Chain A
Amino acid sequence: MDTLAPLVLLTPLAGFLVNALFGRVLPRRVVGWIGAGSIGLAFVFALVALSQVLGGQRLDQTYFTWWQSADFNVPFNLYLDQLSTLMILVITGVGFLIHVYSVGYMREDPGYSRFFAYMNLFVFTMLLLVLSGNLLWLIIGWAGVGLSSYLLIGFWFERTSAVLAARKAFVMNTIGDVGMVFAAFLIFLNLRVLDYQGLFSRVHQLPKGGVVITAICLLLLLGAVAKSAQLPLHTWLPDAMEGPTPVSALIHAATMVTAGVYLVARMHLLYDWAPAAAATVAVIGGLTALFAATIGTSQVDIKRILAYSTMSQIGYMFLAVGIGAYAAGMFHFMTHAFFKALLFMAAGNVIHAFHDDQDIRHMGNLRAGLPITFWTFLIGTLSISGFPLFAGFFSKDEIIRAALSAPGAEFWLGVIALITAGLTAYYMFRLFFIAFGWEWLSHDDRHLHEALPVQTVPIIILAVGAVVGGYVPVASFLSPVFGHAVEVGAGAFIGLAALSVLVALVGFLTAYLLHARRPDLALVWRARLGPIHTLVEHKYYVDELYDRVFVRPGLALARFLNDIVEPRVIDGAVNGVADFFLLEAREFRLIQTGRVGTYALWTLGGAIGVVLVVAAFLGYLPVRLGG
């Protein structure tokens, strides 16, 4: 066990190092094998770990003490319990399938080895985030996944949009990182620990619901919200679709964006101790679920629809962990990883078939051309929409049930979750009907080609997961971590299940009516909804709002600083200085009117500041300073 965890962690790191250092000289085939193989090997180790965890073992091992002083020590310890086992299984398992898919998907890209190096780096940092046994290394992993995500969004750096998207993701995530760092600061200041074991045992020393614990939880939540693209730091995720599709599948659907859910679940003892913060988590999750789902109904870019869908589904998970249904949240995390990775990879096949066109209105009628993609996508759609017996049905139902059966205001969050379920079915089937088509073209001259087996086989495997994943007893597996969930009676179970199926059916029928049966009606309704449709289509103008409120003033500040601090590099003085030593009179002037005078003014201004401070100390200014 104590050698297994480092093996899981180090295998992707080895893959990264080999591909980063030698990727350019190795043959492509080898690069792909190393990239995918290292993750596959890690998955095998993770499976062995699973068998040992099922056997009742768990790990909290300090491998070395990185830094130690009187009151401050930073161990490097790994923490492997049921929760992290589930996480590493999904990360390496789904990650392995996506890597295999990438071997085919990226085969013609000139940055092949770079791609696999980044991907392996991502998996390594993500595993570090999950396996770390203390907050410092969690934050390092947290920053590491942000970095690799940044690198991968901007992978096609020759596209301006990709670079801008990467920058945006970086800025948003940085806001979250600030929150994380301050949370760790507060924890260390108040409890003098950074490792989980110590933290969990000492958290009860703080007053329950007090300012400190609430502030810690809210700051952690800031990090979680940024990483998981929840309101109000969500705008980077749709733009992140500029990265290659396997990246979207792995990082921006299956794993990294759910790190926020993991964080809250991992820190559940803290959130249990800060009810107000936990309620905030739930409200943010519920609102994001609904908010993103409505936007999803109006988009036409296949990957963006899936991105909003991801936001919405993660909203469900936040809702679950916010109301204390941690196991339900993690369950949905797992099934979501299956069907969302599947949906993204299938979408990738379609995008390839249409030569990088992502507009669903240009697609349609794909059953004959892309049969495997077609059927697997349908399975994914059914699963995410919550149709009975598919994986998504079980996990989503558990969340809705937990919310509806909870006492108090959570009930309304349950109602929101129910409405969102209907919207989910609607926008997913809208996507499916428009992009994959229901009508038959009499004459199909598009010559669509199904993807290679290396791309379709992983999708098929995930499709199996998207069906049977619902039968995995995740809740009981996680019960040592979270305790047993509240049982509900059979009647309530069936009643609520019937309700959610009904809602999903309404969504499906609406989509069928508007986008398969009577497309003319869709146009009529769009016109009728008028401004509301425009509002939704423009994503509620959040980007524009941020641009006005933050970006433009920020840029103005940067320019202001730049203009006053940053001199013109080539100014009048340059011409003058050349001959300065010849002491020609006219050059003196150029130096005098050059920037040097301005610089000296700054120094003088600073000196004036110093005099003012002295005056304040001596009591001549209304400001009182120091003792």
Chain B
Amino acid sequence: MTINISGIGIDYGAILPELVVAGTAIVVLFLELVVPPDRRRWLAAVTVIGLLGALVATIPLWGQNRSAFGDTVIADSLAVFFNVLLIAITIATVAISPRYLHALDLDYGEYYILILGATAGMMLLAAATSLMTIFLGIELLSISLYVLSGFARTTLRSQESALKYLLLGGFATGFLLYGMALIYGATGSTTLRGIAAFTTAASSNAAGNVLLLLGIGFLSVGLAFKASAAPFHMWTPDVYEGAPTIVTTFMSVATKSAAFAAVGRVFIATFPSISSRWYFPLALIAIFSLFIGNLVAITQDNIKRMLAYSGIAHAGYILLGVLPGTAQAFSATLFYIAAYSVMNFGAFAVVTAVAAGGEQNADLSHWRGLFYRRPFLATVMTIFMLSLAGIPPTVGFFAKLFVFQALVNAQIWAPLIVAVIMTIVSFYYYLRVIVIMLAAPDEVAVEKRPLGIPTSTVLGVAGLATVVLGIFPAVVLDWATRAASLHF
């Protein structure tokens, strides 16, 4: 008996970005032992260098189609698209982290290790082509984020959010895994390629296979939970509010992006032949998210909770682009994810910067007159709010436009009408933030700390990108189109 290891397609080049990120985590783990406590900023620098290395490693994979390790993982344009996005998000997060962590006295090296672990998990999820790797990617990012949510160990709120996230995340993982088991039971394969082969085979009658359909249903429950789409969104406001804001910033965009990468790979690439079977539940989830996210956001007085519900609503919009099941529509989804990442990261980063500047309270009433105290922060926040609302000339406008256009082309009316109405409803709570920031300040004098160059740079770049991409959306759309089309 021999083990034939060469037959599985060992290709370290295909997973080099993930390897670099994981390797950086291990380097930081050892450095943390030798770096003196007051020099922990160095860890951030090492982390950024490692991430830049991963970025370099991922670029050559663009345009390729390298399936590796027995079809469990693939290096293609879609993976590169998400790798670049996720690495950029992580670099931006790490860049603004030291100041915030220092302000909260949370300056520990484990933070960077966990962030890198989460990033590796997300990148893996985006590249996963097997149920096993999808599951492991989700678990890797989830376990990192569970701990990161509770990273402020002395804060009850943070602890509570970590525990809630853990318990509910475990519950949702149960559904995910059950769904995977059912799919495996129905198709006899764990790789997406094998599953797709089963569903397209005429003899298998996939559309009437109860095990497969239930499996897909439960799989979508698990993925919708990670993407915080309603009605599986319950954890989102609590966790976003309780977790340290920097962690919220990271996971609000990165987790959602990674989850939708998996949604694309599973639903659009693997199950196109039975799209009539998953269209309906996904449409319901999208409509549910649009309704609950937008309507409940109106009643929120805490900016983090408001953004949490806004994120739920955006999960709905992103999901809309998946519904037609075509490459063109999925490219709209990819564009939306990129746009959402920029603007929502920016919005949360402003909340982080305000907190790091000495104003910990995320209650909206404390933002009164922010324009006069912190004109730069308030200005970029205005840009992000306008973009989230979808008002031109910002990237958020085109994100919505492309998705709506995709729905029009696919003649999908009911979700489209809901989305348009809810978009207009959403103006109310986004503009409200701007109006509050413009209002004359209260008398409270707050000690003002400078932002620091990394934070200003990250915010400036995000704000600029929001506007520039709103004027020239073609570049990113082109990338999104190529990433989406290579995939089919």
Contact = CB atoms under 8 A, between A and B. Distances in A.
B234 A603 contact: yes
Nearest to A144: B391
B84 to A, nearest CB: 24
Interface in B9-63: none
B186 to A, nearest CB: 12
Given A580-B159, A626-B279, A626-B280, A174 B232 contact: no
A440 interface: no
A435 to B, nearest CB: 32
A610 B220 contact: yes
A20 B408 CA distance: 39
B473 A181 contact: no
B164 A613 contact: no
Main secondary structure of the interface of A (DSSP, over half): helix
Given A610-B220, A610-B281, A626-B280, A140 B392 contact: yes
A577 B424 contact: no
Interface stretch (B74-82, B235-243, B353-361, B451-459): B235-243
Interface stretch (A149-157, A305-313, A515-523): A149-157
Given A174-B427, A178-B421, A602-B232, A613 B299 contact: no
B238 A562 contact: no
B221 interface: yes
A182 B428 contact: no
A147 interface: yes
Given A182-B420, A610-B220, A147 B157 contact: no
Interface stretch (B97-105, B211-219, B250-258): B211-219
Residue from B214, B217, B218, B235 with most neighbouring chain A CB atoms (10 Å)? B217
B217 A611 contact: yes
A170 interface: yes
Contact of B237 (A557, A566, A573, A580): A566
Interface string A550-586: 0000000110011001110100011101101000000
Contacts of B295: 557-558, 561
Contacts of B438: 114, 151
Contact of A577 (B160, B231, B425, B428): B160
Contacts of A8: none
A565 B427 CA distance: 21
Contacts of B237: 566-567
A618 B424 contact: no
Interface in A174-208: 174, 177-178, 181-182, 185, 189
Contact of B299 (A66, A114, A566, A575): A566
Contacts of B471: 66
A108 to B, nearest CB: 15
Given A24-B372, A596-B168, A603-B171, A150 B277 contact: no
B348 interface: no
Contacts of B221: 603, 606-607, 610
B424 A181 contact: yes
Contacts of B235: 599
A154 B435 contact: yes
Interface string A583-627: 000000001000110111011011101110110011000000111
A613 B284 contact: yes
B214 A606 contact: no
A598 B167 CA distance: 12
Contacts of B276: 626-627
A63 interface: no
A541 interface: no
B167 A596 contact: yes
Interface string B285-315: 1000000100110110010000000000000
Contacts of B157: 574
Contact of B234 (A574, A599, A617): A599
Contacts of B340: none
B284 A599 contact: no
Interface residues of B, number: 63
A178 B284 contact: no
A328 interface: no
Specify which of A110, A181, A578, A596 lies most central, judged by the most chain B CB atoms within 10 Å of its CB. A596
Contact of A603 (B164, B208, B231, B277): B231
A49 to B, nearest CB: 25
B167 A614 contact: no
B65 interface: no
A111 interface: yes
B208 A618 contact: yes
Contacts of A151: 435, 438
B298 A611 contact: no
B168 A613 contact: no
A627 B280 CA distance: 11
Contacts of A598: 234
Contact of B231 (A66, A170, A606, A611): A606
A610 B218 contact: yes
Contact of A150 (B207, B302, B392, B431): B431
Contact of A607 (B218, B302, B401, B435): B218
Nearest to A140: B392
A170 B428 contact: yes
Nearest to A175: B424
Contacts of A147: 431
A174 to B, nearest CB: 5
A573 B235 CA distance: 14
A614 B292 CA distance: 24
Nearest to A581: B159
B488 to A, nearest CB: 19
Given A603-B175, A610-B281, A573 B160 contact: yes
Contacts of A613: 217, 280-281, 284
A215 B163 CA distance: 53
Contacts of B214: 610-611, 614
B392 to A, nearest CB: 6
Contacts of B296: 558, 561-562, 565-566
A143 B210 contact: no
Contacts of A609: 231, 281, 284
Given A67-B473, A610-B217, A618-B208, A174 B428 contact: yes
Contacts of B231: 602-603, 605-606, 609
A178 B292 contact: no
A471 interface: no
Contact of A574 (B160, B281, B372): B160
Contacts of A154: 435
A174 B424 CA distance: 7
A565 B288 CA distance: 12
Nearest to B208: A618
Contacts of A150: 431, 435
B201 interface: no
Interface in A222-251: none
**Most A CB atoms within 10 A — which of B207, B277, B421, B425?**
B277
Which residue of A66, A557, A607 has the most chain B CB atoms within 10 A of its CB atom? A607
Contacts of B435: 150-151, 154, 157
B440 interface: yes
B292 A565 contact: yes
Given A603-B172, A617-B277, A618-B213, 19 more contacts: A66-B393, A66-B471, A150-B435, A151-B438, A154-B435, A178-B421, A181-B424, A561-B296, A566-B237, A574-B157, A577-B156, A595-B164, A598-B234, A602-B232, A607-B221, A609-B281, A614-B213, A626-B277, A626-B279
Interface of A: 24, 66-67, 72, 110-111, 114, 140, 143, 147, 150-151, 154, 157-158, 170-171, 174, 177-178, 181-182, 185, 189, 557-558, 561-562, 565-567, 569, 573-575, 577-578, 580, 591, 595-596, 598-600, 602-603, 605-607, 609-611, 613-614, 617-618, 625-627
12 contacts: A111-B440, A181-B424, A561-B296, A566-B237, A573-B163, A575-B156, A577-B159, A603-B171, A603-B225, A610-B218, A617-B213, A618-B213
Leading 8 A-B pairs by shortest Cβ distance: A610-B217, A599-B234, A626-B276, A577-B160, A606-B231, A614-B213, A577-B159, A602-B234
